[in-house]
């Protein structure tokens, strides 16, 4: 087993810190705006509570949870709309603060969107026996550590195979016949650049003789 453990890609890390930075700045802006800089009422406004929902996703953003990025990219539009409306209706300096909120919302949404585009396959090793655990530890790999695509597919000689289940532009889905099924698959090899498409015809009567699965 030979895995070279590498840190997350620079693009992914950059979008995470951009999202975290813009989210923190948005929280600070909401509090400062409604309590000190330009509150609706002297002494502060209850609108400062709008900063509380923004605190919820902060941990998920810092822990790189993709689900958090997805719902934050939707929720942020509520703050964007508020910023646009108040930039038009409020007097200085409130309208300037509203414009700043709009810019931070755009930055946060952009970071979330780019983070999704820069996603990758990740996984971790889960040994099923003491022997597997010993081999992993002997290779110097920490069990439970998140592995990136570079870790999972190190080297330059990889095979990839996929079989279509439902109909799509890339692969045809499973087609059933009176005696079995027809599947469409793709097999590629990175080293040679070879790719093959395979149309397989499966017969239930033959498969039932050699398989424990009932057809």
Q: Note down the domain range covering 143.
A: 122-151
- Asked if the structure places residue 1 within a domain, the reply is no
pLDDT bucket at 114, cuts 50 / 70 / 90: confident
Q: Say yes or no: 16 and 70 in one domain.
A: yes
pLDDT bucket at 89, cuts 50 / 70 / 90: very high
Q: Say yes or no: 163 and 107 in one domain.
A: no
Total domain count, the chain: 3
State whether residue 174 is helix, strand or coil. Answer: coil
Contact between residue 147 and residue 125 where contact means Cβ atoms under 8 Å apart: yes
Structure confidence by residue, pLDDT tens digits, 164-175: 999 988 899 999
- Asked if the structure places residue 2 within a domain, the reply is no
Q: Note the pLDDT of residue 215.
A: 66
**Radius of gyration from C-alpha coordinates of the chain:** 26
Does the structure show a pLDDT above 70 at 118? no
Does the structure show a pLDDT above 60 at 1? no
pLDDT bucket at 2, cuts 50 / 70 / 90: very low
Residue 146, by phi and psi: left (phi above 0), alpha (psi -120 to 50) or beta? Answer: beta
Ranking 25-34, 45-54, 91-100, 145-154 by mean pLDDT, the lowest is 145-154
Average pLDDT score over the chain: 87
Contact between residue 105 and residue 79 where contact means Cβ atoms under 8 Å apart: yes
Does the structure show a pLDDT above 90 at 49? yes
Q: Note the pLDDT of residue 90.
A: 92
Percent of the chain with pLDDT over 90: 55
Contact between residue 171 and residue 184 where contact means Cβ atoms under 8 Å apart: yes
Structure tokens at 34: 């409604």
pTM of the model: 0.56
Residues belonging to the chain: 215
Burial class (CB in 10 A: 0-12, 13-18, 19+), 117: exposed
Structure tokens at 210: 């050699």
Q: Say yes or no: 126 and 112 in one domain.
A: no
- Residues 113, 16: Cα–Cα separation, whole Å: 11
State whether residue 75 is helix, strand or coil. Answer: helix
Does the structure show a pLDDT above 50 at 7? no
Q: Say yes or no: 18 and 88 in one domain.
A: yes
Residue 44, by phi and psi: left (phi above 0), alpha (psi -120 to 50) or beta? Answer: left
CB atoms within 10 A of CB 38: 19
- Residues 37, 39: Cα–Cα separation, whole Å: 6
Q: Note the pLDDT of residue 204.
A: 92
Q: Note the pLDDT of residue 119.
A: 59
Ranking 5-9, 84-88, 119-123, 196-200 by mean pLDDT, the lowest is 5-9
CATH of the domain at 210: 3.30.540.10
DSSP state at residue 129 = S
Does the structure show a pLDDT above 50 at 6? no
Burial class (CB in 10 A: 0-12, 13-18, 19+), 57: buried
Mean pLDDT of 148-157: 78
């Amino acid at each position: 087993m030979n895995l070279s453990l590498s840190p997350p890609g620079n693009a992914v890390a950059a979008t995470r810190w951009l999202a975290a930075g813009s989210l923190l700045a948005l929280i600070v802006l909401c509090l400062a705006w409604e309590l000190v800089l330009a509150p609706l009422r002297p002494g502060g406004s209850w609108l400062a509570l709008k900063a509380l929902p923004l605190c919820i996703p902060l941990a998920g953003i810092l822990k790189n949870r993709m689900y958090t990025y997805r719902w934050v990219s939707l929720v942020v539009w509520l703050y964007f709309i508020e910023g646009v409306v108040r930039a038009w209706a409020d007097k200085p300096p409130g309208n300037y603060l509203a414009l700043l909120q709009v810019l931070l919302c755009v930055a946060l949404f952009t970071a979330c969107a780019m983070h999704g585009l820069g996603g990758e396959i990740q996984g971790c090793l889960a040994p099923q026996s003491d022997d597997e655990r010993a081999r992993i530890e002997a290779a110097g790999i920490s069990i439970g550590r998140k592995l990136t695509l570079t870790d999972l597919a190190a080297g330059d000689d990889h095979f990839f195979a996929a079989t279509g289940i439902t109909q799509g532009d890339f692969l045809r889905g499973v087609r059933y016949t009176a005696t079995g099924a027809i599947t469409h698959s793709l097999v590629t090899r990175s080293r040679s650049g070879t790719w093959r498409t395979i149309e397989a015809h499966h017969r239930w009567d033959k498969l039932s003789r050699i398989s424990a699965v009932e057809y």
